[in-house]
Homo-oligomer: A and B are copies of this chain.
Amino acid sequence: MKEQNIPYKIYLSEDELPKQWYNLRADMKNKPAPLLSGKTMKPITLEELSEVFCTELAKQELDETTAYFDIPEEILKFYKMYRPAPLTRAYFLEEKLQTPAKIYYKFEGNNTSGSHKLNSAIAQAYYAKKQGLKGVTTETGAGQWGTALSMACSYFDMDCQVYMVKVSYEQKPFRREVMRTYGANVTPSPSTTTEVGKRILAAHPGTNGSLGCAISEAVEAAMKQEGYRYVLGSVLNQVMLHQSIIGLETKAALDKYGITPDIIIGCAGGGSNLGGLIAPFMGEKIRGEKDYRFIAVEPASCPSLTRGTYAYDYCDTGMICPLSKMYTLGSNFMPSASHAGGLRYHGMSSTLSQLYDDGLMEAVSVEQTKVFEAAEMFARVEGTLPAPESSHAIRVAIDEALKCKETGEEKTIVFGLTGTGYFDMFAYERFHNGEMSDYIPTDEEIKEALKNLPKLD
């Protein structure tokens, strides 16, 4: 019997909550490559970036030297609505696996948006409000980000316009209604409210929509309305900064009980959760204070780190946003229609890309049926029904714990449980009915998509 003096759930008290975000870039020796303006193909200036984002957020985006940013009081207050998020010792899972490993997970699904996205949504809404904006526009696919932004805008009494991929709008009416509950204006995309939407509808009358199209509509809507900006829930440095709250809380909770992790695992789509979770630990590693293994887990059907190229690419399918140097599969890459598990972004945060390129972080890809097997096992033994995205991390945490069983090592594993799967039951249904398949893109398909990379001097 292992020692059981660690509680099942470690909750920080209010005065133990982090008061600052941590900017990992300040400690990185090789900084992530700068964003390039799509017009000039030169590093983007604060002025240029401020046309897209609120000035404060643009500053955060470009700041490579300030290690800590004070979290504004208003945001700290909002965080108390759903934070601290518990760090849970997975005693039940350990018992099920009969592993000597000690497993912990940081649960970020303890709020109505159902994921960690709220951490950055509230920050972006706050700075938009502070700048006197009337509202923001965004796109959403599955709906996690749209829901989080709706909640944040509702809190600051700001208009929130969400372009939701048409097929999700129709097939996921629950997420849509959650957003409406928070007062958001949800439009199925493509729509007739924008020029680009009208063009796409004319060319493809029966289209189900795509994330790329929804982004284009949201950007157009922001541009043509006075007092609006477009906002984004992942990939960006500012998002990594806000999400550092995940890692800082995790570290504070571990430190409280004198626990040092050996392996830290997170799922990675655009990188917002993983970047936030590992930030303070990676800082220690870079500064040479401690050593950890970091593992990014991505779907085998959208393997940007494990099979992509490290190069400048467009962040969006519409090629409207600035360019970022990142591991990418090409901005045209679309995961197979059989892919149900989220994490479908073609690229990866520039910060995480640089860390991976520097060998400071590992990456693995996993097949979705294996992911859902892990998800179901986790739900049954730990109680919480996980989001498909989060279940990628569960899969690899289980795999690492099983390796410990073989070797007898008592490693301490921490992973990020980014959210709940309550609005993803169609994917679970396909899994239960044996209708889920694993499609892995061929080398040719990836090569084809990478032809679209921008040509730089």
Residues of A within 8 A of B (CB): 7-9, 11, 13-14, 80-82, 92, 110-112, 114, 151, 154-155, 173-174, 177-178, 180-183, 376, 379-385, 420, 422-423, 425-426, 428-429, 432
Q: Known pairs A8-B81, A81-B383; list 18 more (Cβ under 8 Å).
A: A7-B80, A8-B14, A8-B80, A9-B80, A11-B11, A110-B110, A112-B422, A114-B422, A174-B422, A174-B423, A177-B429, A177-B432, A178-B422, A178-B428, A180-B429, A180-B432, A182-B379, A182-B380
- How far apart sit A238 and B383, CA to CA, in the bound complex (Å)? 23
- How far apart sit A224 and B65, CA to CA, in the bound complex (Å)? 72
Whether B425 lies near A422 (C-beta < 8 A) is no
Whether B428 lies near A177 (C-beta < 8 A) is yes
**A111 contacts across to B, CB distance below 8 A:** 383-384
- How far apart sit A118 and B422, CA to CA, in the bound complex (Å)? 17
**A376 contacts across to B, CB distance below 8 A:** 181
A375 to chain B, nearest CB (A): 8
A295 to chain B, nearest CB (A): 26
A47 to chain B, nearest CB (A): 36
The verdict on A183 contacting B14 (CB below 8 Å), with A174-B422, A174-B425, A177-B425 known, is: no
Q: List 22 A-B contacts (CB under 8 A).
A: A7-B13, A7-B80, A8-B14, A8-B80, A11-B11, A81-B383, A82-B383, A110-B110, A112-B379, A112-B384, A112-B385, A114-B422, A155-B380, A174-B422, A177-B428, A177-B432, A178-B385, A178-B428, A181-B428, A182-B380, A183-B380, A422-B422
A347 to chain B, nearest CB (A): 31
Measured CB to CB, the nearest residue on chain B to A79 is B8
A106 to chain B, nearest CB (A): 16
- How far apart sit A9 and B383, CA to CA, in the bound complex (Å)? 22
**A151 contacts across to B, CB distance below 8 A:** 383
A50 to chain B, nearest CB (A): 30
A234 to chain B, nearest CB (A): 21
- How far apart sit A426 and B92, CA to CA, in the bound complex (Å)? 34
Measured CB to CB, the nearest residue on chain B to A8 is B80
**A92 contacts across to B, CB distance below 8 A:** 81
- How far apart sit A124 and B403, CA to CA, in the bound complex (Å)? 37
- How far apart sit A155 and B381, CA to CA, in the bound complex (Å)? 7
A76 to chain B, nearest CB (A): 11
Measured CB to CB, the nearest residue on chain B to A429 is B177
**A81 contacts across to B, CB distance below 8 A:** 8, 92, 382-383
